[in-house]
A = this chain, B = another copy of it.
Amino acid sequence: MSRTDRRTLLQAAAALPLSALMPTAARAEGTEGTPAAAPKPAPAKDVTRRLAHYLVTAGYDDLPANVRKEGVRTLLNWVGVAIGGSHHQTVDIAVAALAPFSGPAQASLFGRHERFDIMNAAFINGVSSHIFDYDDTHLKTIIHPAGPVASAILALSELQPVAGKDFLNALVLGVETECRIGNAVYPNHYDVGWHITGTAGVFGSAAAVGKLLKLNEEQMIWALGLAASQPVGLRESFGSMNKSFNPGRAASNGIFAAMLASKNFTSSEGMIEAKRGWANTISTKQDYNEITGDLGTRYEAALNTYKPFACGIVMHPAIDAAIQLRNENKLNADQVERVDLKVHPLVLELTGKKTPRQGLEGKFSIYHAVAVALVEGAGGEKQFSDRAVNDPTIVALRAKVNPVVTPGIKPEQVDMTVVLRDGRQLHRYVEHAIGSVEVPMTDQQLETKFSDLADGIIAAPMIRRVMDACWNVESLPSAAEIAKMSVSA
């Protein structure tokens, strides 16, 4: 595969999880509408201050149970993808480039053995966690919330003692901050070209770090202001290492902002909402009610979702259907005569590659995705490896996959019929694939994803211990344990 081919593929891969591919959830929340459908904007008054006031006063005990639970799942999923991506070439390069400039060995690099100062560590871990485009997604904004926030506060937890409850509270508040600010400017801000994970993410990092640094209200205002001064990321970079750069740099920029603010480095009082502030400068839409409305009662952090499959969302319904039919019928490849699937046009447009030869190409082949799901019952990174796309059984089976564009099938749906050699026809219609807001991944599925990602990077018994530490984060005396456990031997 030439470099150009590879870049085109990476570009397309990055383009997959766009709003066009996840309309149901977005529509359900009413944020993807036309201008005519937009709610009446709230006045631009004290937005930064009201957010800061909430951040400095909101405690762990204020979090509803479902929000805590989703926060824990966000953490576990993030740790898995950070470990899983940690030996990608992109991360190796970043580590080599930054090692000469790192400060004291304050914080772990997930899945690796090096230790960097907390800002550089947060950057590297943020990069690792986004490499596979397999991290969490706030579907209303397409923000990947954990990258900027978890990277930052896990690093900070190794520098100062942070109790597990305080950690979870900061994680939720950081995610809440970035998703609310994202809501305020989405979709215009994203449409024009910003990589919203990096632009909104820096607020999430600053808010979460600021919370753990126990900033007062004025300092939190300044931290948010210094965060506003450092947006990261343009969509043009999708398909290059620069995409993963963005959540990483958002994490380190947020720490930078909060640390300066903690020493009373000042900013303006209204950097989010002022006439020449962030929202007006960076977006043609500003809905401040999304930021300050129902703080403490409405939680965007409860809407986080996790990808079950290591590829663009457009193939998820078909993989989901294939795995269901395989498992329920204990299928093996030899039994299969033909797989017919009715799909939305985007599926063939984006993933129509019939004969992938490398793992990455497999992410753009609905043929491979269905075949490997039927054979292996999964759709993780291993199923999109060079090994998988060249496996003779899977290669033979993918030739039997027949996707047909069918009117009435939405991008998040599939209608699959597996015709067996014995004449039986197995049918499955998927309305919402696993991993959507409607059909969230189970805790067990998150564990399987985690284990697959961490396999071979950290020792098997340690994988279990790290997952347990994540599930039990609220009872940990020190959240740093999670980071310290997650390194390679």
A417 interface residue per 8 A CB criterion: no
A90 interface residue per 8 A CB criterion: yes
Shortest distance between the CB of A240 and any CB in chain B (Å): 4
Known contacts A94-B260, A103-B117, A277-B193; is A229 also within 8 Å of B225 by CB?
no
Determine which of B97, B195, B259, B271 lies in contact with A101 in the assembled complex, contact meaning CB atoms within 8 Å: B259
List the B side residues contacting A26 at CB < 8 Å.
none
A241 interface residue per 8 A CB criterion: yes
CB nearest neighbor in B for A252: B256
Contact between chains at B234 and A281 (CB < 8 Å) = yes
Shortest distance between the CB of A292 and any CB in chain B (Å): 18
A276 interface residue per 8 A CB criterion: yes
List the B side residues contacting A233 at CB < 8 Å.
229
Known contacts A193-B277, A229-B246, A281-B193; is A240 also within 8 Å of B259 by CB?
no
Known contacts A225-B240, A229-B245; is A94 also within 8 Å of B265 by CB?
yes
CB nearest neighbor in B for A127: B265
Known contacts A118-B101, A119-B101, A281-B192; is A236 also within 8 Å of B275 by CB?
yes
List the B side residues contacting A472 at CB < 8 Å.
none
Contact between chains at B234 and A98 (CB < 8 Å) = no
List the B side residues contacting A111 at CB < 8 Å.
none
Task: Give the distance in Å from the alpha carbon of A457 to the alpha carbon of B235 in the complex.
Answer: 46
Residues of A259-301 whose CB lies within 8 A of B? 259-260, 262-268, 270-271, 274-278, 280-281
A239 interface residue per 8 A CB criterion: yes
A138 interface residue per 8 A CB criterion: no
Contact between chains at B225 and A242 (CB < 8 Å) = yes
Shortest distance between the CB of A151 and any CB in chain B (Å): 15
Residues of A217-258 whose CB lies within 8 A of B? 222, 225-226, 228-242, 245-246, 249, 256
A102 interface residue per 8 A CB criterion: yes
Return the CB mask of A176-201 against B: 1 if under 8 Å, else 0. 00000000000000001111001000
List the B side residues contacting A97 at CB < 8 Å.
259-260, 262-263, 265
List the B side residues contacting A259 at CB < 8 Å.
97-98, 101
Known contacts A192-B281, A265-B245, A277-B193; is A234 also within 8 Å of B228 by CB?
yes
A100 interface residue per 8 A CB criterion: yes
A1 interface residue per 8 A CB criterion: no
Task: Give the distance in Å from the alpha carbon of A274 to the alpha carbon of B240 in the complex.
Answer: 14
List the B side residues contacting A409 at CB < 8 Å.
none
Known contacts A241-B265, A249-B230, A260-B93; is A274 also within 8 Å of B101 by CB?
no
Contact between chains at A236 and B268 (CB < 8 Å) = yes
A96 interface residue per 8 A CB criterion: yes
Contact between chains at A264 and B93 (CB < 8 Å) = yes
Given contacts A101-B259, A234-B276, A242-B266, list 4 more A-B pairs with CB under 8 A.
Answer: A96-B263, A97-B260, A193-B280, A242-B267
Nearest 7 Cβ contacts at the A-B interface: A193-B281, A193-B276, A242-B267, A235-B276, A236-B277, A97-B263, A236-B274
Contact surface of A with B, Cβ cutoff 8 Å? 90, 93-94, 96-98, 100-104, 106, 117-119, 192-195, 198, 222, 225-226, 228-242, 245-246, 249, 256, 259-260, 262-268, 270-271, 274-278, 280-281
Please, could you name 24 A-B residue pairs with CB atoms under 8 Å apart, sorted by A?
Answer: A93-B260, A94-B260, A96-B263, A97-B260, A97-B263, A98-B260, A100-B104, A101-B118, A101-B119, A193-B276, A225-B236, A225-B240, A228-B234, A229-B233, A229-B237, A230-B232, A234-B276, A234-B278, A236-B270, A236-B274, A238-B268, A240-B266, A241-B267, A242-B266
